[in-house]
Structure 1
């Protein structure tokens, strides 16, 4: 049986492709050599200049975290920056607030209550009848963390009033929101 493609045609095509490959490689090498020569010539033409190397950049970084309950925590860091790209990548999830040559301030809104509120926060009521979160159980010496709205104490049932006087411990964002919603109907102000 005769081959479908004669041997001479296969040899001609193979020779042609090999010739093209050698020609392409030669031209590519020659082109790269010319580019390298031009780059070297440009480098040789530029005058030698002394560049001052200052080393890494040192910045104060302030991280502000703003929690649902209004608490703002602030963390101050001293950063040594070798590459600005790395620095910005480290803080890509933060919002830039201010920046100068010595300090950068970032902010992040946290969808949770603050660690202070989780550890020692209690809802209560002031003597004036204002729904408030205290640092510790509500009493005259307790520090106020956040105040909300006036409660019409006349509308409260006695057990609700006692709960607020003794303090309602807050452990999570859900509890925080539930307490606010539960006492909203007793607000002295219109909604």
Structure 2
């Protein structure tokens, strides 16, 4: 009798490289996300994701490898702690061709960091994987960005459309987006 995991085919039909959700039990509420990322990952990322934990050192190593790959492609690439990044051509006088940079970034990300940083950031900002609308609206209200009538349903609708009824780039709104539970950033 074969058992089927939430994101995998029957155990008897799975190859050694395919994830079983149980493999990521240490990831807690993020186990399914780890399994999905693992299935999409190359060898380097699989080695990092295999244990269901991403350490700060592993994230930093992925950033270093990605930056080195970009440098080899002619781009200076810098990732910031808040999840932002910037790139510029290494050749002086060269114009920044966003499409060229994006092509190289996609290739380098496939090899070194398609999933590591994203999962690390998601887990850091919401380790228990609580409802995004609930934690976001609570933070926005507490910060005075929205009033008490602003609802989780309204946030979901605005988040889906990408158009918010408040200044999404105000420092308080950015803080709520990046650290809605106040776990790692100071407002």
The TM-score normalised by the length of structure 2 is: 0.22
Question: Radius of gyration: which is bigger?
Answer: 1
Q: Give the structure with the larger helix fraction.
A: 2
The TM-score normalised by the length of structure 1 is: 0.21
